[in-house]
A and B are shown apart, each in its own frame.
Chain A
Amino acid sequence: MSEFEPKIVAFCCNWCSYAGADGAGVARLQMPTNFRIIRTMCSARVDPEFILRSLAKGADGVIILGCHPADCHYIGGNYRARRRIALIRLVLEQYGFDPKRLRLEWVSASEGEKFQKTLTDFVNTIKELGPTPLQQEGE
């Protein structure tokens, strides 16, 4: 049997992390291809419903990338985002998910290398955790 290849949804904020991902591409940094990027205008645009919908549709992990604290294009969007993510993580824990399946990281526009490192690390975490428990029950 081939190795488990997780499906990961990555929400990137338009101003920092998406540019960071671009930077990683331009610099030709090698990284796993398990993630699908969805660009949002801000990390605070990521409604908890997006996260739940990703998981409900079979994503093995969800990662939200935003601007560093004090660096948000909209002044305080990332502070809101981290509070919501903290709360939705509590909800996921109550559902029975491993909270490590949801991660929030700060990647700025110049941090292509950090983008590569974060994603590689997250893919490895999810590989260790195995496929989403939701999918297993549906089968």
Chain B
Amino acid sequence: MSFFDRFRKKNDAGTAKKEVAKDVKKDAKTKTAPAVSGGSCYTKTAESISTAQLPAADLGELLPGAPPNGKINLAIYWAAACGGCDVSLLDINERILTVGDMANIVMWPIASDGKEHDIAAMEDGEITVSIISGAVRNTENEHMVKLLRKKSKIVVCYGACACFGGSPALANLVPGGKNEILDYVYKKIPSTANFQADYHKNSPVIPQTKYAAPEGELVLPTLYDTVRTLDQVIDVDYFVPGCPPLQESISYMLKAVADFAYGGVPLPPKGTTIGVVTRTLCEQCPRRKEYRRITKIVEPHEIDVDPELCLVDQGILCLGPATVGGCNARCTRAGQPCRGCYGPTTAVQEQGASALTAIASLFPVLDEDATMEEDKVIDIMSTIKDPLGYFYAFTMGKSLIKKSVTEKGGK
């Protein structure tokens, strides 16, 4: 018996044993709780694979040289975004090397040259695809996305910020708008506060949007009071949600573009959201659901997280019940609650309101409930800190009430 044979045999015995153990466990489970679904978080069960339902995003071989009708033009742009979406585009692994064969990258601020005036000099529709990530929150963002829309055949709204506003849109909740934000950032946070105190004690410096230099006027982009999503500013053809979108979504998008460029295969209908399923994240999450009641909200680091039990059952605020599936529950498999970056399901507009409904219903009915004062209920619900920021972490830009308001008082 060679070394490898021995190894193989041992391995086989190991899996056989495991399977038996699993069967026993399964039996035990079905006896005690018939409603239980899904298996362990660490093994890929047949169930978790079947619920993924993502179209096969296999590009097959690397892209075969240049398309028959010449290279297409590809622009990738970031508006108010962190850059994570740009980096995520590299998740298509070695295929990224052949994207250069398919397309001229005419603009990609994070990776290649290509200036605003180059784009402006192009014919309308000369760019085949523009992939734009990030929300729109200043004059430069707005100018560039409008320019790219004019020059592009297809615009892809890429990432949670572009689709729903994302984290930048939480700035809409600052009552004082851009002035309060600028004031805070340039005067109050410790690093700038010290700088201002050392060098500009009497008149703190806030960057001006216009400066008359001897050579001519210099202009900086002006911040807006309201952060908008991409489709609130320009017409958008496809949505790819996620923070950042997963490899499957990106491959699917790239495959659609490649099929179009090489074989003239028609693109998906306008307005398609790429990479999502119709049901919520819970459908893809392999954790065991016991539908427990919770009385206290905890953070994952405060407790010993059970690797197999539903996070909400353990008192961790997870937005899975209100978030559309498509990511195959990457975060919850790793023991982190869902923050909702894939946005709401198609049935609702408000992801935050759905999450709020789901979570509030988990608080148990108490014996004293019939005689309880309303203040007591508020005390119970106050265990959720910052509900607005938590439930709308990614979707403030698309929520029904998009901005903080100020009561003016009666007459």
Contact = CB atoms under 8 A, between A and B. Distances in A.
A80 B387 contact: no
A88 B399 CA distance: 14
Interface residues on A, range: 35 or more
A83 B353 contact: no
Interface residues on B, range: 35 or more
B371 A129 contact: no
A133 B175 CA distance: 12
Contacts of A70: 369-370
A104 B356 CA distance: 17
A86 B380 contact: yes
B266 interface: no
Interface of B: 173, 175, 348-350, 352-354, 356-357, 359-361, 363, 365, 369-372, 374, 377-378, 380-382, 384, 386-389, 391, 399-401, 403-411
B401 A83 contact: no
A55 B353 CA distance: 14
Contacts of B389: 94
Contacts of B360: 80, 83-84, 86-87
A38 interface: no
23 contacts: A4-B411, A47-B354, A48-B357, A56-B400, A69-B369, A69-B371, A83-B363, A83-B380, A84-B360, A87-B359, A87-B384, A87-B387, A90-B378, A90-B382, A91-B387, A95-B173, A127-B410, A130-B408, A130-B411, A131-B408, A133-B407, A133-B408, A137-B403
Q: Is the interface of A mostly helix, strand, loop or mixed?
A: helix
Contact of B400 (A4, A49, A96, A132): A49
Interface string A63-98: 000000110000010011011101111110011111
| Chain B CB within 10 A, most for which of A90, A91, A136 | A91
Given A55-B400, A56-B400, A70-B369, 9 more contacts: A49-B354, A52-B400, A83-B360, A84-B357, A86-B360, A86-B374, A87-B387, A134-B405, A137-B405
Contact of B378 (A55, A89, A128): A89
Nearest to B363: A83
A91 B356 contact: yes
A49 B322 CA distance: 13
Contact of B361 (A80, A88, A98, A130): A80
Given A83-B360, A96-B405, A137-B405, A48 B353 contact: yes
Contacts of A130: 407-411
A79 B384 CA distance: 18
A36 interface: no
